[in-house]
Structure 1
Amino acid sequence: MKKKIAIPVKDGILDGHFGHCSHFALLDVMDKAIVTEELVAAPPHEPGLLPPFLADLGVTDVIAGGMGNRAIQIFNQHNVNVFVGAPQLDAKELVKGFLDESLSFTANYCDH
């Protein structure tokens, strides 16, 4: 299984407001192990821009705290899976929990 997982971060921790994060942690995963990790600056906030931006970087999955329904739809149109309601943890911790299925997701707390 090969994946590239994107997490919106601020100071290495999940940024609860997806569309206004300053950076994305991008973690490449192979056979349930993190292979590489990089930090990419987010483009200026513009509705509908982030899904194609991340898809063009090869992202297959996004882990976020909250995200608007329209953004989720656009990600899905780009064949990117979205998981919302993640706790505010370090990006690497989130991915490890996601991979070993110990990460708990709550409700999507973004309502726009």
Structure 2
Amino acid sequence: MKKIAIPVDGEGMLDAHFGHCKFFMVFTEENGQIIAQDRIIPPPHEPGVLPKWLSEKGVTDIITGGMGKMALDLFNQRGVNTFVGAPQKSSFDLVQGFMGNTLSLTANYCNHEHEEGCSGH
């Protein structure tokens, strides 16, 4: 069984700002089928909080457009697989592509400038 988390906006589309997303869609996959999907509200943003929070919720995989090095390292330390460079699509389309091995990933989209740098994701 896998629990796949995707940061989303209010419309269920991939949110390019992992650390500041409004929601996470968490899909539970078993034997190639989605058996549950939940939209959850993340805790207030602070560096390092989301990897801990998501791993405590049992997330095994995360699909995102971009993510800072600190978050990548923390997910790795907790055994959560990270897939960065996802296209801006609906969370359902992304999880279907992931499960069907057709999800095309590109570069880590966290390359913009902001005050705390990408380590704030």
Q: TM-score, normalised by structure 1?
A: 0.96
| Residue type at the aligned position of 1:42 | P
In the alignment, the residues of structure 1 paired with residue 26 and residue 47 of structure 2 have an alpha-carbon distance, to the nearest angstrom, of 21
In the alignment, the residues of structure 1 paired with residue 23 and residue 43 of structure 2 have an alpha-carbon distance, to the nearest angstrom, of 9
Number of equivalences: 111
Tell me the equivalent position of 2:63.
Answer: 63
Higher Rg of the two aligned structures: 2
Residue by residue, what CA displacement relative to the aligned partner does 1:10-59 show, whole Å, maximum 9, x if unpaired? 02000001000010000000012111100000111100000010001000
- Mapped pair 1:44 → 2:44: yes
| Residue type at the aligned position of 1:94 | L
In the alignment, the residues of structure 1 paired with residue 76 and residue 92 of structure 2 have an alpha-carbon distance, to the nearest angstrom, of 23
| 3-state SS, counterpart of residue 55 of structure 2 | helix
In the alignment, the residues of structure 2 paired with residue 6 and residue 106 of structure 1 have an alpha-carbon distance, to the nearest angstrom, of 18
Tell me the equivalent position of 2:102.
Answer: 102
In the alignment, the residues of structure 1 paired with residue 31 and residue 96 of structure 2 have an alpha-carbon distance, to the nearest angstrom, of 12
In the alignment, the residues of structure 1 paired with residue 89 and residue 3 of structure 2 have an alpha-carbon distance, to the nearest angstrom, of 18
Identity of aligned residues (%): 52
Q: TM-score, normalised by structure 2?
A: 0.89
Query: Which 4+ residue blocks in structure 1 deviate beyond 6 angstroms?
Result: none
In the alignment, the residues of structure 2 paired with residue 84 and residue 41 of structure 1 have an alpha-carbon distance, to the nearest angstrom, of 21
Q: CA deviation at 1:109?
A: 1.5
| 3-state SS, counterpart of residue 103 of structure 2 | coil
| 3-state SS, counterpart of residue 75 of structure 2 | helix
Question: Normalized per residue, which structure has more strand?
Answer: 1
Structure 2: segments with no counterpart, 5+ residues: 112-117
Q: CA deviation at 1:69?
A: 1.1
The two structures, once aligned, show a CA RMSD in angstroms of 0.7
Q: CA deviation at 1:92?
A: 1.1
